[in-house]
Chain A
Amino acid sequence: MSEPIPLPQPHELPQREKDDALAAYLMNFAAWGAGLPIPSLNLVAAWVYFLINRRKSRFVAFHCFQACTSQIPTTVFNIIAVGTVIDYLLILNRDLPRFFWPYLGFAVVANLVYLGSSIYACVLAAKGRFHYFLVFGRWAYARYYGPNAVALEASAGPQNLPPAGF
């Protein structure tokens, strides 16, 4: 492919695709749904959801990819925070370091900002619209609508052939 793929307009998209797209952003709350307070669970859920939906339609795949990749920074922040608590309090049995509290504040703010922007993107996806996150939005667009967009159709794969000579 060399030409960008035209973006679908809200009225052209079936309701099912809009629902699937909005649910991609709600994977941010997967840990609450599973009742497991593991910081990486949301990312895993978003990744599983992306794998399930990546061949459904470009609109759904775009939102799933953006929702999944944009979670990486906050997930890393959360893992560092939880890891520091476990390391210092449970393994080393020492007080938390002085840098921890400013870091925790930063992580909380980052999570809140991400949560707000996810809800905004979720609402737009429910209406069949696009919202581009910083960096990740451009990446998702390039992947699914850009000049070198990935093919969603499964490749034909290996074919059965008759024996040589027939």
Chain B
Amino acid sequence: MPRRALGAAQIRNLLPKRAQMKFDITQQESYSRSELLLRTFFGWLYIMVPHTLVLFFVGIWSSILHFISWWVILFTGRYPASFFEFHVKMLAWTMRLHAVTWNLVDGYPAIGTAGSHPAVTLEVPYPPSLSRAKLLLRAFVGVIYVSIPHGICLYVRMLATSVLNGLSWWYILFYGRIPKSWFQFNVGTLRWTLRLNLYMTNMTDDYPPFSGKPTPAAAETAVV
């Protein structure tokens, strides 16, 4: 019986699937107009000032841990599990802050890495091993093959997101809700930046797709 060559897609399906990150924000049925106005006029005072102040110091700590993680990965091929958990929690914090400041959800974003928001979910699978070659590649030429192409695309997408955010503000004010497509687009922008962040900070070896769409739910995720 003659053997047929397998296509790239078939080969990909035969390979064991690697767990992917999952990020989503649950859209509310209706949004509070009073909260919207409160955030718009006083958000800088009661949301941005305390969060930015704490995030500044936590950010310094985070950059120290990223730097140390780089060396640990280089020598052991593993991301230190406790550092990984810290960074996932920190990313979850920045995501819920963005979700609130972009008017995607109501409520106050919890300060600190231990907090959570019922509408914002982030699951990042812990990689059992990481490629040292990719680590060095990212460090030396990551700007060329990751930052520049993604940066250009994200810049354009961010402009569209800013326009949609402005339109959403008026939409919420008049109708008390956001059109689903606008909401999904803005969540997609956050998802894209998140994937890029995970790749550039060596938390995954999967090159980020040029898309904000969620990953197919085929892979099982080991939640940290």
Contacts and interface: CB of A to CB of B under 8 A. Distances in A.
Interface of A: 15-16, 19-20, 22-23, 26-27, 29-30, 32-36, 45, 48, 126
B68 A16 contact: no
A29 B66 CA distance: 11
Given A16-B82, A19-B82, A29 B76 contact: no
Contacts of A35: 63
B64 to A, nearest CB: 4
- Chain A at the B interface: SS class: helix
A30 B63 CA distance: 9
B68 A19 contact: no
A34 B83 contact: no
Interface string B47-85: 000000000000011011111100110011010111100
A109 to B, nearest CB: 24
B72 A23 contact: yes
B64 A23 contact: no
A22 B83 CA distance: 12
A19 B72 contact: yes
A34 B64 contact: yes
Nearest to B80: A19
Contacts, number: 48
22 contacts: A15-B78, A15-B81, A16-B81, A20-B80, A20-B82, A22-B76, A23-B68, A23-B72, A23-B80, A26-B71, A27-B68, A29-B71, A30-B64, A30-B67, A30-B68, A32-B67, A33-B63, A33-B65, A33-B67, A33-B68, A45-B64, A126-B76
Contacts of B63: 33-35
Contact of A33 (B66, B80, B82): B66
Given A16-B82, A20-B80, A20-B82, A33 B72 contact: no
A103 to B, nearest CB: 29
Of the listed residues A22, A32, A36, the one surrounded by the most CB atoms of chain B closer than 10 A to its CB is A22
B76 A19 contact: yes
Contacts of B80: 16, 19-20, 23
A48 B82 contact: no
Q: Which 4 A-B pairs have the closest CB atoms?
A: A33-B67, A33-B64, A19-B80, A26-B68
Contacts of A23: 68, 72, 80, 83
Nearest to A16: B81
A33 B71 CA distance: 11
